[in-house]
Chain A
Amino acid sequence: MSEFLQFLFSGLTVGAVYAMVALGFTIIYNASEVINFAQGEFVMIGGMSSVFLLSAGVPLPLAMLAAVVIAVGIGLALHALAIEPARGASVVTLIIITIGASILLRGLAQVVFDRQFHSLPAFSGDVPITIAGAALLPQTLWVLGGALVIVLALGWFFTRTLTGKAVMATAHNRLAAQLVGVNVRFVLMLSFGLSAGIGAIAGVLVTPITLTSYDVGTMLALKGFAAAILGGLGSAAGAVLGGLLVGIAEAMGAGYVSSEYKDAIAFVIILLVLFFLPRGLLGGKAAERV
C-alpha cells in the first residue's frame, strides 16, 4: 500500500506540471486553434529567470514574480512579432511558427543564461511529510496547490468576467464573436500572455523538485500535449485531468512495470486516445461542417 501511495504522490507531482502545460495549450488552442509548441519554453523561462534573478541577489518571492512577468512579456512579444504578422495564415503555418519560436527561445536561453542545470530552494524546506509510509515533499503541495489556484482562477475569469467571456465566445465561434464586437486580436494576445504566465508559474513551482535547464521545455511540451489530447483539446478541466492521469500513468508504469518505458507511456496514451477516443475524455462533440 505504501508503495502505491508513493507512486501516486510521484505521479501527482509530475502530473500537476503536465496539467499546467496542458492548460497553456488549451487557452491558446481555444483562441486560435493553434497548438503553441513553445509552451514548454515558458516553463523553462519561469524557472531559469527566477534562478538567475535569485543569484543576482533578488529575494526569492520577488524573483519568482519577476520571472512570471518576464515570461508574460515574452509570450506577448511572441504574439506581436511572430503570430500577429502571420495572421490569416493557415493553422499549420502558425504551428510551425511556434515550433520555430521554441527553438529560438531555447537558443537564446543558452546565450542569456547558460547550459547548466539549476535548482531553487524549496519554499518550505526539504523535510518530507510521511503519510502511511509514503514520503511527500512539502514542495509537491505547493505545486498541487498552485495548479488548483490556477484552475479556480481561470474558471472564475472565463465565467465571471466580460474579458473572459469574450475569450470563451471566440473559442466557440470566432466569426460570431467578431460580429458582436469582440476584439479577436486582443483575445489572441491575451491568451498568449496568459498561457506564458501559467507556464512560468509552473516552472517556478517545480524547479525546486525537478531542476531546470535551457532545454527542459521540449519534453514538458510533448507530455503536456499528450495530457491535453487525453483530456480533450480545448477543455480546461480535461487538460488538468489529462495531466494528472499522464503523470500517474508514468509513475505507476515506472514503479510496477519497468522504468525503461516510462517516456513511452505518454506517447502510447496519445496513440490510444487518437484511435479510440479522438475527442479526448472531456472534449466537446464534433459538429460536422457541411
Chain B
Amino acid sequence: MDKMRFKPMLCSRLTLACAALATAIAAGGGAADAQEPIRIGSFLSVTGPASFLGDPEQKTLEMYVEELNAAGGVIGRPLELIVYDDGGDANAARTFATRLIDDDEVDLIIGGSTTGATMAVVPLAEEAEIPFISLAGAVVIIDPVKAWVFKTPHTDRMACEKIFEDMVANGISTIAMIAGTGGFGTSMREQCLDAADAYEITIVADETYGPRDSDMTPQLTNIRNTEGVEAVLNAGFGQGPAIVTRNFAQLGIDVPLYQSHGVASASYIELAGDAAEGVRLPASALLVAEDLPEDDPQREVVVSYKQAFEERWDQPVSTFGGHAYDALFIAVDAIERAGTTDPAAVRDAIEQTSGFMGTAGEVNFSPDDHLGLDLTAFRMLEIRDGTWTIVE
C-alpha cells in the first residue's frame, strides 16, 4: 500500500525548471547569469482521504510559483517548487520530508495538509534548522512554540471561541454539544469543552457520532430531551454535520444550531438542503469574498485569490488552498526582507512578519506566537436562502 503512494511530482519540477530557464533568458543575461533557484519543498495530501485539503493546496502553490517566476522570481532568483504526495500518511510525510531536506536541499518547507503529517515532520525541520510553515489546523503544532515551525490556518480553539462569543452576544449560556469522533471533531470538542468556562457557557449534553455514521437521531433525541438546552454546537467535518443538520430539522428541535468551520463549503449547503437554513458557523472571509464590504481590509486579497484560483482551475475556491497562499506569500515576503535564503535569516524574518494580510486574516508573528491570527480572522456566517450571509 505504502509503495503506491510514492508519487513524486516530477512534472512540476520539470515545468518549473523550464520556467526558470525561460526567465533567465528573458532577463537577457543568458546562462552565465542564471541564478541558483530558491527551492521550496512541499509534502501535501494530494490523494487519499485528505485530498480535499492537499489538492487545492498543490494547485495554489503551483499557480503562484508560476506567476512569481513569470514576474522575475524573488530577490532576482527563480523559485523551484518540489511537491511530494504523502497520501495523508504521516509515515510517508516523514520519508518525503527527509528527502526534501537531504536530497533536494530545499531552502524552506511549506506543507503538511494534516496535523498528523505535520507533527511527523516537525522534529526533522527542527533538527535540520529549516523554516517550516504548516498548513494544518491543530493547536499542538505551534503550542508550545517551536523555533522553526509556523502555521497559517486558524485553530479549532479559535472557532470555539468565535462561536461562544456569538452565543454570549445572543444571550445563550446553556448548550448541548455533538461531535464527530474523527480527528477534527475530537480535537475541537476538547478545545470547546476547555474554552467554555471562560465564556460562562455550560455544556449540559455531550454526544458523539462516528465519522461514517448515517443517522444521528438517537443522539439528537437525547439532546432534545435534555432540560434547558438553548443552542446546539456540532463539531465535525465531512458528511456527518450535514446529516446532523438534517436530523436536527427532522426532529424539529427549535433552538439555534451552530456548526464549525469544518463545514464551510458549498457542498454542506447542498447536502443539508433546506435543513441548513438558519445554521450559524464561523468561517474564513474567503467564503464570502465578494460580499465583504468595500472597506474591509481583507477584501482585496481574498477576492483576487478567489478569482485567480477559480479562473485557473475551474473549481470553487476552498479555504484550504488559501492556507497555502498565505504560507507561500509569508515566505516570499520574509525572503525579500531577509534578502537571502539563509535559513536562520529567513526564520527570523518570518517571525518578524507583521500586518501581513492573508486569506485567513492579518498575520502578526512574534517569538511566542507562531500562528499570528486573532478572532477577527473568523467571520460569523448564517445560512439564509441557501447561501452564506455575514451576521456581524
Contacts and interface: CB of A to CB of B under 8 A. Distances in A.
Contacts of B210: 259, 262-263
B208 A14 contact: no
A10 B251 CA distance: 11
A213 B246 CA distance: 17
B252 A255 contact: no
A3 B223 CA distance: 11
Interface string A103-117: 000000000000111
B274 interface: yes
B242 A6 contact: no
A37 B281 CA distance: 40
Contacts, number: 86
Most chain A C-beta atoms within 10 Å of own C-beta, residue among B218, B238, B243, B274: B218
A118 B45 CA distance: 22
Interface stretch (B9-17, B193-201, B265-273, B345-353): B265-273
Nearest to A9: B217
Interface residues of B, number: 32
A252 B238 CA distance: 25
B356 interface: no
A117 B238 contact: yes
A211 B213 CA distance: 10
Interface in B12-61: 51-52
A211 B215 contact: no
Interface in B249-273: 249-252, 267, 270-271, 273
A151 interface: no
Most chain A C-beta atoms within 10 Å of own C-beta, residue among B217, B225, B273, B275: B217
Interface string A250-290: 01101100111011000000000000000000000000000
Contact of B221 (A210, A216, A255, A263): A255
A150 interface: no
Contacts of A155: none
A166 B273 CA distance: 47
B234 to A, nearest CB: 13
Interface of A: 3, 6-7, 9-10, 13-14, 115-119, 126, 128, 135, 137, 206, 209-211, 213, 216, 219, 251-252, 254-255, 258-260, 262-263
Given A126-B273, A126-B274, A209-B214, 18 more contacts: A3-B221, A7-B221, A9-B217, A14-B215, A117-B267, A119-B270, A135-B217, A135-B252, A211-B239, A211-B271, A216-B212, A216-B214, A251-B215, A254-B218, A255-B219, A263-B210, A263-B212, A263-B213
Interface of B: 51-52, 181, 207-210, 212-215, 217-219, 221-222, 225, 238-239, 242-243, 246, 249-252, 267, 270-271, 273-275
